[in-house]
């Protein structure tokens, strides 16, 4: 009888590289006291909007994904000027998305592949993301991201003012548990099928205390017990080719929230299925949503817009020297001029709310 055992673990693992512990990266790229205070007050401002203590509209706007930090910062510098101008009616937060959930496969974002060439240099990706967040916050601009991998928050969440769990992960217990321990307000998107029940269940689960497997700041596998996140809300993004920002959809989502004892508090994503993935339709969606938002007792407290320096998107992968500066390599975005016009129109329409 042979005593040689067959290989039964790591059969499909090609490589494994230890990452720096979160505390190491946070020490290398620390947050200043000013930045910490800015993040805390941005989260408070968003909390007040969620709970109806501030009538401003929360606007999560920016690139579908950050792939070029230089262009991302140019965008941030433009956005912060507009934010300051419109801040008595709009609370503008920049989309700073580093992790992309894919329907099948594709570029998974700057954290996973910062060199855009499939080399997946994760230590560089985490470092670039942390540096970029620090840079945006130093402009006095609040940051929003989707948290996809449950290990990522330990590296960057102290620099995030608002986060989302996406349509592909709202039903995942792992993500609901993660959300229950996060320190910032968070939106759950309805499922890609259009189902909103999964997002409502997610809000309920994330508001509870949970114990689950995670990593500590020292990078050690840990059992984490959370308090529950009281600042979760619903995001309607359409689904299965259909929109869900019309009055009837908003009304039925509101009823479902109330039936579950949750705050009637809804953000509308003007992109994704709500625009049929056509970025040119996002401004019209935003206008329609704003018209509803100014109605008395409207549950609409926020909107999301995918926007970049240049409108549309470019096919990717492609040779890096052929990339158009400031244009999305993931979903199509509204260009800067149209973004500015749309936000100004929203601002003007919101006069009725004040
Ligand atoms: O917002 C981004 C995309 O819609 C999401 O990452 C899915 O992209 P995919 O369907 O192209 O994979
Ligand atoms: C991936 C995103 O959205 P969704 O989860 O709605 O597809 C996104 O907002 O980048």
Mean pLDDT calculated for residue range 274-295: 98
User: What are the tokens at 97?
Assistant: 């998305």
pLDDT tens, residue by residue, 92-137: 999 999 999 999 999 999 999 999 999 999 999 999 999 999 999 9
Indicate if the pLDDT at residue 352 is higher than 90: no
Residue to probe by mutation, ligand 1, list 330, 332, 333, most atoms within 8 Å of CB:
330
Angstrom distance (rounded) from CA 136 to CA 157: 14
Q: How far is the CA of 137 from the centre of ligand 2 (A)?
A: 23
Q: Which CATH architecture has domain 34-48+56-353?
A: Alpha-Beta Barrel (3.20)
pLDDT tens, residue by residue, 226-247: 999 999 999 999 999 999 999 9
Mean predicted lDDT score pLDDT of the chain? 98
Angstrom distance (rounded) from CA 248 to CA 256: 12
pLDDT tens, residue by residue, 145-155: 999 999 999 99
For ligand 2, what atom is nearest to the CA of residue 273? 6
Indicate if the pLDDT at residue 321 is higher than 90: yes
pLDDT tens, residue by residue, 6-20: 999 999 999 999 999
pLDDT tens, residue by residue, 157-183: 999 999 999 999 999 999 999 999 999
DSSP state of 107: -
Write the residue with the smallest CA distance to atom 2 of ligand 1.
Answer: 331
Mean pLDDT calculated for residue range 184-196: 98
Indicate if the pLDDT at residue 2 is higher than 70: no
Closest to 150 measured CA to CA, from 53, 83, 93, 226: 226
Mean pLDDT calculated for residue range 79-93: 98
Query: Ligand 1 pocket, 146 CB below 6 A?
Result: no
Q: How far is the CA of 71 from the centre of ligand 1 (A)?
A: 21
Query: Ligand 1 pocket, 189 CB below 6 A?
Result: no
User: What are the tokens at 239?
Assistant: 């689904």
Indicate if the pLDDT at residue 1 is higher than 90: no
For ligand 1, what atom is nearest to the CA of residue 64? 1
Q: How far is the CA of 141 from the centre of ligand 2 (A)?
A: 21
Q: What's the pTM?
A: 0.98
Write the residue with the smallest CA distance to atom 6 of ligand 2.
Answer: 167
| Ligand 2, CB within 6 Å, residue ranges | 64, 97, 101, 146, 166-168, 189, 237, 269, 272
Write the residue with the smallest CA distance to atom 12 of ligand 1.
Answer: 102
Q: Kindly provide the ipTM of the predicted complex, given to two decimals.
A: 0.98
pLDDT of residue 354: 87
Closest to 276 measured CA to CA, from 310, 242, 248, 315: 242
Q: Calculate what percentage of the chain has a pLDDT beyond 90.
A: 98
Give yes or no for a contact between 209 and 180, defined as CB atoms under 8 angstroms apart.
yes
What does DSSP say about strands 221-225 and 211-215: parallel, antiparallel, or unpaired? antiparallel
Binning pLDDT at 50, 70 and 90, where does residue 143 land?
Answer: very high
User: What are the tokens at 317?
Assistant: 């992968």
Angstrom distance (rounded) from CA 158 to CA 308: 25
Q: How far is the CA of 218 from the centre of ligand 2 (A)?
A: 30
Q: Where are the domains of the chain?
A: 34-48+56-353
Indicate if the pLDDT at residue 319 is higher than 80: yes
């Amino acid at each position: 009888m042979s005593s040689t055992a067959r290989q039964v673990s790591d059969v499909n693992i090609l490589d494994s590289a230890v990452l720096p512990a979160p505390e190491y990266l946070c020490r290398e790229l620390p947050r200043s006291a000013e930045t910490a205070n800015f993040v805390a007050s941005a989260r408070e401002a968003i909390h007040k909007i969620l709970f109806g203590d501030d009538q401003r509209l929360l606007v999560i706007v920016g690139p579908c994904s950050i792939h070029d930090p230089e262009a991302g910062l140019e965008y941030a510098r433009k956005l912060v000027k507009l934010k300051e101008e419109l801040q008595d009616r709009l609370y503008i937060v920049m989309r700073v998305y580093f992790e992309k959930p894919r329907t099948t496969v594709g570029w998974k974002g700057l954290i996973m592949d910062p060199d855009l060439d499939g080399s997946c240099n994760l230590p560089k990706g985490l470092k670039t993301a942390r540096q970029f967040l620090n840079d945006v916050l130093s402009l006095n601009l609040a940051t929003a991201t989707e948290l996809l991998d449950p290990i990522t928050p330990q590296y960057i969440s102290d620099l995030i003012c608002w986060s989302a769990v996406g349509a592909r992960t709202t039903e995942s217990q792992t993500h609901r548990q993660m959300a229950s321990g996060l320190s910032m307000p968070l939106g759950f998107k309805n499922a890609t099928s259009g189902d909103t029940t999964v997002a409502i269940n997610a809000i309920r689960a994330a508001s509870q205390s949970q114990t689950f497997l995670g990593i500590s700041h020292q990078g050690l596998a840990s059992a984490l017990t959370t308090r529950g996140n009281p600042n979760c809300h619903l995001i309607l993004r359409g689904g299965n080719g259909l929109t869900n920002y019309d009055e009837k959809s908003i009304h039925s989502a509101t009823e479902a929230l109330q039936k579950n004892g949750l705050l009637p508090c809804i953000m509308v994503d003007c992109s994704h299925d709500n625009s049929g993935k056509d970025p040119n339709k996002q401004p019209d969606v935003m206008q329609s949503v704003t018209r509803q938002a100014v109605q008395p007792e409207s549950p609409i407290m926020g909107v999301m817009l995918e926007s970049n320096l240049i409108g549309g998107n470019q096919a990717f992968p492609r040779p890096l020297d052929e990339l158009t500066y400031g244009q999305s390599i993931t979903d199509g975005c509204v260009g800067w001029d149209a973004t500015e016009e749309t936000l100004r129109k929203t601002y003007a329409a919101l006069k009725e709310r004040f």
